[in-house]
Chains A and B, each alone.
Chain A
């Protein structure tokens, strides 16, 4: 079955791509470029960098603009998926949703309206186990956004390591912060992994941080042979 993956370049959509590639043919990645940094549906930090990630993985990328207005952005998502169906012949859509019923329901409804299969291969996965799985499977993940107490600026740009996962697990127990950032507390970017034919290297970046909310802006990056 030919599939399109809803792709933000963060760990969840990359790992969903990985699982989909193990079971089916991924025909394209689909990225919604949202102009709303607080979008309910779409990952926004460094979203323009998905083109380089797609190149590193070796899959075509379908980019689709959206203003990111609540509910209207769903029409844009449906239009992007319909375009992927027409251009790449996809028969199903894959998402990296873990806990968000809001996201999962909306994706399911769009797929149903377009008569497409819908797959959520990370659905309800234990989040701490999942973070460890990312490492054991060889993914290199960095944190590109923090949006909740008690994350300070030192988290920005930090690579996901076993130590980092232990700290996230502690924050989960103490503050109920979702360890994988499913509640929007964290955003990530994947630089390398088993499906990457080349790895990504950040050459220049900057940070903004204020009051437990911050972003790492990747200004220049390149592909490097593995």
Chain B
């Protein structure tokens, strides 16, 4: 069972159709079961009981999750694989000591994968859909997988199976979600 964490401004928002449902649909069509919870409800859960956890993205103007980083400190002690998408990557970076910084991108852009990983495969250039006003600096315990120090496109914790990608894999890169689900 994969836990999808909805980071949108409120539970069951209009944005859920756009940032959570496509992730759920992709995984379910690949044969995985998913459960969706809003981040405000996580205190009632034990996220570690799930096989995988994905922190989903939010609308461009929705940065409320950044005011509730305390809700995500459980990630630091989580042995379950975690993938943060866009807002989710910012949350992971912030939890581990990175800084959420102004960094805008809207649309398809080239992404340079610089380090081989189980999530993104071998180094090469792919095209990905971006929709963010903010990015996050690379925390000390993380390796850069794609992009550059000033604009981290993807990272991974040096030891734990915790990943972040700033672009949206549900658009044209659904294979990344399948890779993560199969880790």
Contact = CB atoms under 8 A, between A and B. Distances in A.
Interface string A105-117: 1001101100111
Interface in A70-86: none
Contacts of A20: 14
Nearest to A119: B14
B131 interface: yes
Contacts of B131: 108
Nearest to A99: B171
B153 interface: no
A19 interface: yes
B106 A101 contact: no
Interface in A88-140: 92, 94, 101, 105, 108-109, 111-112, 115-126
B115 interface: no
A15 to B, nearest CB: 11
A101 B108 contact: yes
B107 A105 contact: yes
Contact of B14 (A24, A108, A112, A116): A24
Contact of B18 (A101, A105, A115, A121): A121
Contact of B12 (A23, A108, A120): A23
B180 interface: no
Contact of A23 (B13, B22, B29, B60): B13
B22 A117 contact: no
B90 to A, nearest CB: 18
A109 B107 CA distance: 9
A108 B62 CA distance: 13
B71 interface: no
Interface residues of B, number: 22
A60 B61 CA distance: 26
B111 interface: no
Interface-central residue, B25, B60, B129, by most chain A CB under 10 Å = B60
Contacts of A122: 17
Given A101-B107, A101-B171, A108-B131, A19 B17 contact: yes
Given A101-B129, A117-B59, A117-B61, A126 B12 contact: no
Interface-central residue, A105, A115, A123, by most chain B CB under 10 Å = A123
B170 A124 contact: yes
B25 A119 contact: no
Contacts of A118: 59-61
A11 B106 CA distance: 26
Nearest to B22: A124
A135 to B, nearest CB: 19
A105 B129 CA distance: 9
Contacts of B133: 112
B21 interface: yes
A116 B59 CA distance: 11
Interface string B111-152: 000000000000000000101010000000000000000000
B40 interface: no
Contacts of A24: 14
B80 interface: no
B22 A123 contact: yes
24 contacts: A19-B14, A19-B17, A20-B14, A23-B12, A23-B14, A24-B14, A101-B107, A101-B108, A108-B106, A109-B106, A112-B133, A117-B59, A117-B61, A117-B62, A118-B61, A119-B14, A119-B15, A119-B18, A120-B18, A121-B18, A124-B21, A125-B17, A125-B21, A126-B29
Given A23-B13, A109-B106, 18 more contacts: A19-B14, A20-B14, A23-B12, A101-B129, A111-B60, A112-B106, A112-B133, A115-B61, A118-B61, A119-B15, A119-B18, A120-B17, A121-B17, A121-B18, A122-B17, A123-B22, A125-B22, A126-B29
